[in-house]
């Protein structure tokens, strides 16, 4: 999509085609009247997103919301919604213990503020339809991509774990787990420390089982972040993140009992495709090390409980 056209629709005029600051989606940083702004794609249910993030803002949660412009913001361009946010100045996450604790505390505060029902009509999580063929094809692809980079995958163990998760997905769907409104995609590259965490990408806001969102943070918090460790949280770091989270949230006995199954389901949903389809990630030493760490966590998650 033409970046100049997108920016023009918001009243920003450029002489040259802008370059996206994000490789996987159009995200443009522009400076207008001494103010730095971010123009990016957002979700289809944009009114739901705005209602939700406005609530968070009113509750003094540090989260970006649309900047006032003469042009409509957000707006639809072709079949895609775009939005203009302020550019947030601050420090990037670097894996320090205080940053991990504060990140967990911040997610806990966000979950605490969720209503008991999907009153904002956010997209509802409904991915419970994986099958054996998908798993077998993905494991085969993971094995091929890993071998090309000198990594040996325990394919039988991996496939067995994922197929067990396929068999349990209906049970998880019917378990009556607590759902929350959450920005989802909660990871380090969506936070800026000011010095408190500031959420700069709430655009994947979703209505989802609470422990699924927590599991995603465990698995992919360090994904695609140049200053983060090239691995998942260590057990000690996970306990630190969780202690911050539990400042605001008391998890139920049911959530604790189903936690490992939820963790494995989120791996099936969010990590399997990432490892199977993105060849460039295996060629990136940092991502390759993260993938190895993710596999090891799946094989043995005993250090990552909710207690």
Which tens digit of pLDDT belongs to each residue from 229-256? 999 999 999 999 999 999 999 999 999 9
Distances (CA, A) of 106 to 144, 160, 198: 39, 35, 9
Which tens digit of pLDDT belongs to each residue from 148-179? 999 999 999 999 999 999 999 999 999 999 99
Distances (CA, A) of 152 to 145, 236, 284: 10, 27, 16
Q: What ranges do the domains of the chain cover?
A: 3-86, 97-299
**Considering the chain, what is the average pLDDT of its residues?**
95
CATH superfamily for domain 3-86: Phosphorylase Kinase; domain 1 (3.30.200.20)
Q: What's the whole-number mean pLDDT along residues 113-139?
A: 97
Q: Retrieve residue 157's tokens.
A: 């163990």
The pLDDT of residue 1 is above 70: no
Which tens digit of pLDDT belongs to each residue from 188-198? 999 999 999 99
The pLDDT of residue 293 is above 80: yes
Which tens digit of pLDDT belongs to each residue from 31-87? 888 889 999 999 989 999 999 999 999 999 999 999 999 999 999 998 899 999 999
Q: What's the whole-number mean pLDDT along residues 8-28?
A: 85
Same fold, 3-86 and 97-299: no
Q: Give pLDDT, residue 102.
A: 98
Cβ-defined contacts of 97-102 (< 8 Å, 24+) = 97/237, 97/240, 99/193, 99/197, 100/233, 100/237, 100/240, 100/241, 100/244, 101/240, 101/241, 101/243, 101/244, 102/193, 102/196, 102/197, 102/244
Q: Give pLDDT, residue 3.
A: 86
Rounded to two decimals, what is the model's pTM?
Answer: 0.95
Assigned CATH for 97-299: 3.90.1200.10
The pLDDT of residue 201 is above 80: yes
The pLDDT of residue 23 is above 80: no
């Amino acid at each position: 999509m033409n970046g100049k056209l997108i920016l023009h629709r918001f009243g920003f005029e450029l002489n040259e085609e802008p370059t996206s600051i994000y490789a996987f989606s159009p995200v443009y940083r522009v400076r207008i009247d001494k103010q730095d702004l971010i123009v990016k794609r957002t979700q289809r249910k944009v009114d739901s997103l705005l209602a939700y993030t406005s609530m968070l803002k009113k509750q003094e949660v540090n989260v970006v919301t649309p900047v006032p412009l003469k042009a409509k913001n957000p707006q639809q361009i072709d079949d895609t919604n775009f939005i203009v946010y302020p550019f947030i100045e601050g420090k990037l996450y670097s894996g320090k213990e205080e940053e991990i604790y504060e990140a967990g505390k911040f997610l806990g505060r966000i979950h605490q503020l969720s209503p008991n029902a999907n009153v904002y009509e956010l997209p509802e999580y409904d991915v419970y339809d994986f099958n054996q063929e998908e798993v077998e094809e993905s494991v085969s692809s993971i094995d091929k991509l890993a071998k090309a980079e000198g990594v040996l995958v325990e394919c039988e163990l991996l496939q067995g774990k994922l197929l067990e998760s396929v068999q349990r997905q209906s049970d998880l769907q019917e378990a009556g787990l607590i759902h929350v409104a959450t920005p989802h995609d909660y990871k380090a590259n969506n936070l800026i420390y000011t010095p408190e965490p500031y959420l700069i990408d709430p655009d994947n806001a979703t209505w989802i089982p609470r422990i699924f969102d927590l599991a995603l943070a465990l698995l992919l918090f360090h994904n695609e972040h140049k200053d983060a460790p090239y691995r998942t949280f260590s057990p000690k770091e996970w306990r630190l993140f969780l202690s911050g989270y539990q400042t605001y949230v008391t998890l139920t006995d049911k959530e604790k009992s189903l936690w490992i199954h939820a963790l494995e389901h989120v791996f099936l949903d969010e990590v399997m495709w990432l490892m199977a389809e993105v060849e460039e990630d295996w060629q990136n030493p940092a991502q390759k090390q993260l993938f190895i760490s993710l596999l090891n966590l799946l094989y043995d998650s005993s250090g990552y409980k909710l207690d």
